[in-house]
Amino acid sequence: MRFIQFLLVILLSQELMAQFYKTSEPFTHTYSIVARDSLTGEMAVAVQSHWFSVGSVVTYGKAGVGVVATQSLVNPSYGPKGLALMEQGLSPEQALNILLENDSGAMYRQVAFLNNKGLVATHTGNQCIDEAGHRQGKNFSVQANMMLENTVWDAMAKAFESTKGSLSYRVLAALKAAENEKGDIRGKQSAAILIVKGHATGNIWEDVVMDLRVEDHENPIQELERLVKIHEAYDYMNKGDLAMEKGDSKKAESLYLQAQKLFPDNLEMTYWYAINLLNNKDYNKAFPILKSVFDQDKNWKTLTKRLVKSKLLNISEKKLAAVMAL
């Protein structure tokens, strides 16, 4: 009974939304991918478009449930409503069909649903602007509209299937493949990637693995790839912070070193690596690194004294004086 009531609310709200979208649908013509990592269970949705802030319109996801890409003449309600229906136990195909059947603009929509089992459902309306199409595969769907060439979605699928590595790099490979096929007929402007966990933890701050957006850029995919790399480095930094909090300076040193390897010119990463060298009494290695950091910005030297009070730096007064003299 409760589920039937829920569906009735969906149908009524869809009818109201249809009236609204007749005059206010964003023209987010674009290419996107929804995908699942079969090893980690993580689910991703990534997109690029010649439209400002495409990620705020196209990408939706919920840990333990699935991800959605809604584009072309966008009806954003497909995102939250599609996730709600899949969370109720409907398959991506069932959920998508319910929404399409009650959308008077279905012929203009391009939508892809993927759930935490890797099942997908995709719709490309027959009035989507050419070139438009989609292709499904195991644990993914790629879709595009208003492309210069009709080779985009096949190239995206091939790139995703053939690329090794983390889910973020595989979906980036798909986006880059689309651009290599000349992509959006209008050009490029913004891009986004959202990755959620396959199983919900109950803590929203843990359930979202990655949520990055390039709102307006001349090379949005290149910039998104740079941000993904930075995200990876700061993931090591965050884990290093937790290790410091627990007093495990050896683990912290290792994690900060991994971050530094990704961005050797980043003072923040270099500094915290050196601080944990001090904690581990590796002064010969720590001192020249800290001197280099202090020479570039003396505020890091001021911060170092404060770490002693917070018990994040365990060092004798003699050694601290030596650090301050660098």
Tens of pLDDT, residues 244-266: 889 898 998 899 889 989 998 89
The overall longest dimension of the chain from CA atoms, in Å, is 76
- The reported pLDDT for the residue numbered 221 is 97
Gap between the Cα atoms of 31 and 124, Å rounded = 12
- The reported pLDDT for the residue numbered 157 is 98
> Average pLDDT, stretch 110-122?
98
- The reported pLDDT for the residue numbered 186 is 93
Q: Encode pLDDT of 197-226 as tens digits.
A: 999 998 988 999 999 999 999 999 999 999
Residue 57 · residue 94 · CB < 8 Å: no
- The reported pLDDT for the residue numbered 27 is 63
pLDDT for residue 297 is more than 50: yes
Q: Of 123, 57, 122, 115, whose CA–CA distance to 88 is shortest? A: 115
Q: Where in the chain is the domain with CATH 1.25.40.10?
A: 234-324
- The reported pLDDT for the residue numbered 252 is 87
For residue 110, what is the enclosing H or E element?
strand 109-115
Q: Of 194, 69, 76, whose CA–CA distance to 134 is shortest? A: 69
> Average pLDDT, stretch 182-205?
94
Gap between the Cα atoms of 49 and 101, Å rounded = 27
- The reported pLDDT for the residue numbered 289 is 95
Q: Where in the chain is the domain with CATH 3.60.20.10?
A: 2-218
Residue 57 · residue 66 · CB < 8 Å: no
Quote helix, strand, coil % in the chain, to nearest 5: 50, 20, 30
Gap between the Cα atoms of 88 and 91, Å rounded = 9
- The reported pLDDT for the residue numbered 180 is 95
What percentage of the chain has pLDDT greater than the value 90?
84
AA identity, residue 309:
K
- The reported pLDDT for the residue numbered 317 is 94
- How buried is 140 (Cβ within 10 angstroms: 0-12 exposed, 13-18 middle, 19+ buried)? buried
Window from 8-22, 80-94, 177-191 with minimum mean pLDDT: 8-22
> Average pLDDT, stretch 285-293?
96
pLDDT for residue 19 is more than 50: no
- The reported pLDDT for the residue numbered 11 is 41
Place of tokens 């569906």: 7
Q: Encode pLDDT of 310-325 as tens digits.
A: 999 999 999 999 999 9
- The reported pLDDT for the residue numbered 80 is 98
- The reported pLDDT for the residue numbered 20 is 37
> Average pLDDT, stretch 80-92?
98
Residue range 2-218 in CATH 3.60.20.10: yes
Window from 138-152, 242-256, 280-294, 296-310 with minimum mean pLDDT: 242-256
pLDDT for residue 32 is more than 70: yes
Dihedral sign (CA 175, 177, 180, 183): negative
> Average pLDDT, stretch 229-240?
93
- Beta strand 59-62 with 43-49 is unpaired
Gap between the Cα atoms of 319 and 179, Å rounded = 54
For the chain, the straight-line distance linking the first and the last C-alpha, in angstroms and rounded, comes to: 72
- The reported pLDDT for the residue numbered 209 is 97
CATH class in words for 234-324: mainly alpha
